[in-house]
Amino acid sequence: HLQEISISPATTLLDYLRQFADLPGTKEGCGEGECGACTVLVGELTNDSVVYKAVASCLFPLGDTDGKHIVSIEGLNQASLNPFQQAMVDEGASQCGYCTPGFIISITSYLLSSPQLDAETAMTALDGNICRCTGYASIKRSIEQVLKNHAGRLLSGTDRLAAAVESGLIPDYFLNIRQQLKKIQKPPELLSARASEKVIHIGGGTDLYVQQGDDLKQQNIRFLSQDESLKRFEEKNNHLLIGAGITMETIRTSPIFANHLPEIGESMKWVSSTLVRNRATLAGNIVNASPIGDLSIMFLVLNGVLTIRKGEQHREVPLSRFFQTYKKIDLEPGELVEHIQIDLPRDNERFSFERISQRAHFDIATCNSALWIK
């Protein structure tokens, strides 16, 4: 049904769900993308199919739900518990209960999208869902139970959503979403962000929301997540062009990186969590200008050159000149990073990246280094 409200598009999806939509199943824990209690599914039309990803709703702007299908835990409700919910009950895996909706949503996202289905990779899909009370053993057993009964069917067909509906893992209304989303898509010219000095551009927003949160509600905001011109990802003549809007999770799973620079894809698994990587963008990571930003260090070594646009005008800046001094970057108001081009090492050359941090997960590097040896 249609619901009309008048609130800032910068309001978090979490606040909207709990305070305005009366859907309190999604929980608030940290409010900073670190616990997973607020996990929801976001479905987007991609190549004529709906692709679902788990995201942290505490860092997701309401305005960026435009054209997308948002599923909170209530959206998985059926007449009885679905097989994963039942497995969680059978195994006593709903321990404190507070974080349970997040676990259910993250595993649902995994079941809907992972090319392989096994308990080990399922547990890595939970890297952003923190259990502080009891541990993950019973959660893992419930995943094993659901995979034992349903992985075969999910992997056998070409239509994963239909297989998930047949398995009872998601309600059958999911089958109508593709058509519904098609009706509400906007033409590309409306989605391509034009530069304006008075507008704050938000790609993933995963860092901006932690830093500025409520202040963003007073700002004029433009969302970039549907701007296809920021999503180019091409290999050309020993170079790689990566769009500003490409997410960390795309980099982690990209066959191009697996082929040429496996160290980069591999190291992405230490960058935050699946929930954040599904939203965090390449350009966000770079303009953040953190001195220990992993991608910045790697791309500096690989001779990264940024293409920056303002209106119809474009300019190129080597990454080595883009970073001017601590947290000061060569980017004027109204300018937008469009993509970065990096060199690819040749067969007889080696690239290496290493980072040290106090914890393996959810930590920034204390020190990191990249080398390109010719």
Residue ranges that bind ligand FES, judged by CB under 6 A:
28-31, 33-38, 56, 58, 95-96, 98-99, 131-134
Q: Which is nearer to ligand FES, 53 or 231 (CB)?
A: 53
* CB 33, min distance to ligand FES, A: 5
* CB 128, min distance to ligand FES, A: 7
* CB 131, min distance to ligand FES, A: 3
Q: Which is nearer to ligand FES, 99 or 105 (CB)?
A: 99
* CB 308, min distance to ligand FES, A: 32
* CB 193, min distance to ligand FES, A: 26
Sign of CA dihedral 230, 231, 232, 235: positive
Would you say 262 and 273 are in contact if contact means Cβ atoms under 8 Å apart? Answer: no
Nearest to 177 by CA among 82, 69, 299: 69
* CB 290, min distance to ligand FES, A: 20
Cα 324 from Cα 331, distance rounded (Å): 10
At residue 79, φ and ψ (nearest 5 deg) are -60, -35
Q: Which is nearer to ligand FES, 159 or 363 (CB)?
A: 363
- DSSP character string of 212-240: HGGGGGGS-EEE-TT-GGG--EEEETTEE
* CB 205, min distance to ligand FES, A: 13
Nearest to 54 by CA among 13, 6, 98, 97: 13
Q: Which is nearer to ligand FES, 58 or 342 (CB)?
A: 58
Cα 177 from Cα 190, distance rounded (Å): 22
Would you say 331 and 287 are in contact if contact means Cβ atoms under 8 Å apart? Answer: yes
Helices in the chain by DSSP H: which ranges?
A: 13-15, 83-90, 100-113, 119-124, 137-156, 160-166, 177-183, 188-191, 208-212, 248-253, 255-260, 262-268, 274-277, 282-287, 294-301, 319-322
Q: Which is nearer to ligand FES, 37 or 319 (CB)?
A: 37
* CB 101, min distance to ligand FES, A: 10
Would you say 240 and 295 are in contact if contact means Cβ atoms under 8 Å apart? Answer: no
Q: Which is nearer to ligand FES, 135 or 152 (CB)?
A: 135
Q: Which is nearer to ligand FES, 18 or 160 (CB)?
A: 18
* CB 97, min distance to ligand FES, A: 7
Q: 145: which residues sit within 8 A by CB, 6+ positions away?
A: 87, 90, 91
**Residue 344 CA neighbour count, 13 Å, CB half:** 18
Residues in the chain: 374
Q: Which is nearer to ligand FES, 55 or 308 (CB)?
A: 55
Q: Which is nearer to ligand FES, 107 or 131 (CB)?
A: 131
